[in-house]
Chains A and B, each alone.
Chain A
Amino acid sequence: MSDAVTTRRSRRQSRGPYGRLGSALNELDDRVGVAKGGRSFLDKIFPDHWSFMLGEIALYSFVVVLVTGVFLTLYYVPSQAIVTYHGSYLPLDGTSMTEAYASTVNLSFAVRAGLLMRQMHHWSADIFIGAIVVHMARVFFTGAFRKPRELNWTIGVTLLTLAIVNGFLGYSLPDDLVSGTGIRIAYSIILSVPLVGTYLAFFIFGGNFPGTAVIPRFFILHVLIVPALIVGLVGAHLFLLVRQKHTQFPGEGRTERNVVGSPMFPVFMAKTTGFMLIVAGVTALLGAFAQINPIWQFGPYEAARISYAVQPDWYMAFLDGALRIFPSWSFHSFGYTIPFEVTIPAVVFPGLLFGLAYAWPAIERRVTHDNALHNLLDRPSSRPKRTAAGVAVLAMLSMLFIASSTDVIANFFHVSLNTVLWTMRILVLVSPFVAYPIGYFIAKEIHATRGGGRRKTVNVVQRTASGEYVATPAPAYGDDVASELAPTPVPTFITPPEAVPPTDPGTRTVDR
């Protein structure tokens, strides 16, 4: 028995049953104390429901945005200095353009994987905002914003605002013909603010439009200031999520006082990491196969040129639609002008919309006088008024979204622009009032139906040797809970069915 062997064995023994990793964790625990908190973090339970994945899409597409964005900053030049293009994209050869545009064309064509990264960046930004909106709808319709989670709702609305702002800033950076027109519209919207509009516009643009400051300023806002705010708020959002624990839908064994689901490690970690890879993979596939924002086809921005069917990214479309259909009501008085035709659709309306979103938890609490803590989610059908209100707002926003392509619709369907304009005006105003009662009554009906919103019990009906039919439960699977597995007895028709016990005044039994 050599000395070396005993040393190795004794060293192994001194490490304890968990080997190198265990001793490393012990060393760490000696210094910062990770064992207790780490253990409870690994044991943390996450409820399972497909709709809880929507926020994850937002989070992971934000990761993709960050990674691809870092790649782009290595090649993009935030400068409005005029250069003459002599790059690998021949149709633009000899054109004079800003360095911003030239570097964007260059990174699309001359940098390896540059085009893929740019397309992924744009796609994931669009997906990011889309996922936020859908996640927000989930939180709204299930009442997840109620006490104690009002603060996280507020952070979420702020995140949506910042994401839209940063999306617009990033969309502007290539300085192509379409995005430059967008910047001009943004300038005019800022200009329309009463009293301080001209000062605001001049301070943001460093003088009259376009100046030479807007691209470098948008750049630093886009890559540093707004992302820093988003990262910080996402951190706060997730911290609150962990601290307050996730909400869950009602079900067997689920109460206001517990969480039922999968543990953080390994189940949730495996699923969520895999999901991150899927989100990144799908974004890369979109970047590979679905062209987005081909700026080399639009050409560089020149203030006196314009392209047909100019439309912003999807999340700006509701504003563009509002600007298109609002009447030309300019207000002049006492030697001053308030351009209502711009201020109301592009400043007041989004202000009210986001103000309503911020205020909703307080509004609802004032109406319901409900000051209790809620950890169990509502089914949307069990809160018909809230559901209908959400549907009404979404209906109006959808109509505004459609209104952002009035010219394309008129061309496509060969109807006059005037018809489309008036149709959209009427639809925008009427749709919430139609959507509210429809949403309300559908929700009421679903709620009144017995077992509405629940999975139907799965039966396996077997015939015995004596000719008797017996229902047995189907094998348990996935999220099944025991009470849902009890089989429905096979009807015999020999004895009359038991009389239905009198139901609550609020419920109704539907014959099937």
Chain B
Amino acid sequence: MSQMSEHRTPVSIQGLAADDPHLAPAARHPRLVERVIALNFVVGLVLVIGFGACYWVNAAPWTLGATMGGGLFFLGVGLVAWGKYLMPRGPFVEERHPLASDEVERDAFAAAIVERGGGVVKRRKVLGGLLGGGLGAFGIVALFPLLRSLGPLPKGTLFHTDWRSGTFAVDSTGRRVSVGELAIGSIMTVFPEGLENTDRGQAVDQTILIRISNENFVTQKGRETWAPMGYLAYSKLCTHLGCPVGLYEQQLQLLVCPCHQSMFNATNGAIPEFGPAPRPLPQLPLYIDAQGYVRAQSDYHEPVGPGFWERS
């Protein structure tokens, strides 16, 4: 018992005799452990070579991962076991030396900074101020033009889309949408003609077109002429975070955003009925021209998409 606790008492590793029990392996059966570790290493070696072979013959990706991963895993397990069971069992101890310096050194350090440095600055206040001013000005000057060149100013670009009076609504291939296009209860995504393949046309101008009935449809007061022949158009940008409002729940006539499940009532000016979106989807006033094409009366009457500071 006493012998055992002696073995288990932590000692310093420095200056230990070679036969000190602390340097003995931790394993009770070192020979057995050695064989198990050897087996791990052999399996690891074979798999690592297998990885090379699989790579050489361009085998399926999973074989590459299986051989490489397995190889590294077995080599690692063997090495951990080697360290844990066959290397000095310890426990060893090391003293912590306080990191803090003594009072004299601390004072000398502080004095060097405060007295020496402070003396220099205090004696030459103007020089210090000028240098500080120059470097400070450089910082400001470097920061602002650098930021400025990163991108254009927002100006009014967030307030408008590219829909204008008379713009044709086209599908993603650029084909104009005519009045016979949609059956009642179906939807499609439309873009201003000519912009269907542009970033801006896709990211900002995307509009969802719904055929809700056969006759002129009024979603809200003041929008009496906006939905001729039951064709309704809303901005497809969710007013929460700008995801495309891509789902249409036909029975409830809800437009659903798949990102955070905001739901907008298509029949009622797309006011949000559920979820985190704070505002209705802006509605695009439409008309149907003499040839039966669906066209915009004007731009949206309010900014599309998520909220931002300058938006009133």
Contacts and interface: CB of A to CB of B under 8 A. Distances in A.
A185 interface: yes
Given A112-B58, A287-B69, A328-B277, A184 B241 contact: yes
Interface string A254-278: 1011111111001111110111111
A467 interface: no
A201 B151 CA distance: 9
B79 A273 contact: yes
Contacts of A113: 55, 61, 64
B205 to A, nearest CB: 9
A267 B83 contact: yes
Given A112-B58, A281-B69, A476-B8, A188 B64 contact: no
B308 A208 contact: no
A258 B69 contact: no
A439 to B, nearest CB: 31
Given A270-B87, A310-B259, A303 B1 contact: no
B211 interface: no
Contacts of B310: 198, 336-337
A437 interface: no
Given A192-B308, A212-B199, A406-B261, A306 B93 contact: no
Contacts of A184: 203, 241-243
B39 interface: no
A478 B89 CA distance: 8
Interface in B79-119: 79-84, 87-88, 90-96, 99
A418 interface: yes
B5 interface: yes
Interface in A239-293: 243-245, 252-254, 256-263, 266-271, 273-289
B260 interface: yes
B91 A261 contact: yes
Contacts of A216: none
A453 B238 CA distance: 53
B295 interface: no
A206 B260 CA distance: 27
Q: Could you say which of A309, A320, A339 has the most chain B C-beta atoms within 10 Å of its C-beta? A: A339
A289 B154 contact: no
Interface in B278-312: 278-279, 305-312
Given A189-B241, A328-B276, A209 B5 contact: no
Interface in B38-62: 55, 58, 61-62
A282 B73 contact: yes
Interface string B125-156: 00000000000000000000001101111100
Nearest to B150: A203
Contacts of A205: 151
B274 A417 contact: yes
Contacts of B99: 148, 243-244
Interface in A330-344: 330, 332, 335-339, 341-342
A187 B240 CA distance: 12
Interface residues of B, number: 92
A204 interface: yes
Contacts of B96: 245, 256-259, 375
A210 B90 contact: no
A253 B148 CA distance: 62
B152 A202 contact: yes
A260 B258 contact: no
A181 B8 contact: no
A274 B93 contact: no
Contact of B272 (A148, A196, A201, A328): A328
Interface string B166-189: 000000100000000000000001
B154 A270 contact: no
Interface in A307-341: 307-310, 320, 323-330, 332, 335-339, 341
A305 interface: yes
Interface in B196-244: 199-200, 202-204, 206, 236, 240-244
B259 A185 contact: yes
A323 B241 contact: yes
B72 A281 contact: yes
B259 A473 contact: no
Interface in A4-42: none
Given A192-B306, A192-B307, A482-B5, A116 B244 contact: no
B312 A274 contact: no
Contacts of A477: 28
B242 A115 contact: no
Given A268-B83, A481-B8, A285 B70 contact: yes
Given A337-B307, A339-B308, A418 B274 contact: yes
A185 B276 contact: no
A328 B275 contact: yes
B258 A288 contact: no
A324 B277 contact: no
A475 interface: yes
Contacts of B9: 252-253, 482
A342 B307 contact: yes
A485 interface: yes
Contacts of B278: 328-330, 339, 341
A120 interface: yes
A392 interface: no
A407 interface: yes
Contact of B77 (A203, A206, A278, A326): A278
A215 B246 CA distance: 24
B33 interface: no
A188 B242 contact: yes
B72 A270 contact: no
A205 B157 CA distance: 14
A431 to B, nearest CB: 20
A307 B247 CA distance: 10
Contact of B309 (A202, A203, A338): A338
Nearest to B58: A112
A275 B276 contact: no
11 contacts: A208-B203, A260-B93, A261-B91, A273-B76, A274-B78, A277-B75, A281-B70, A281-B75, A284-B68, A303-B199, A323-B276
The 6 A-B pairs with the shortest beta carbon distances in the complex, nearest first, are A288-B65, A277-B76, A284-B69, A274-B79, A270-B83, A281-B73
Given A191-B307, A304-B191, 15 more contacts: A198-B309, A208-B200, A252-B8, A257-B96, A259-B96, A266-B87, A267-B87, A271-B83, A271-B84, A278-B76, A280-B72, A332-B312, A336-B311, A341-B278, A406-B261
Interface of A: 43-45, 48, 112-113, 115-116, 119-120, 148, 181, 184-185, 187-189, 191-199, 201-213, 243-245, 252-254, 256-263, 266-271, 273-289, 302-310, 320, 323-330, 332, 335-339, 341-342, 375, 406-407, 417-418, 421, 473, 475-483, 485
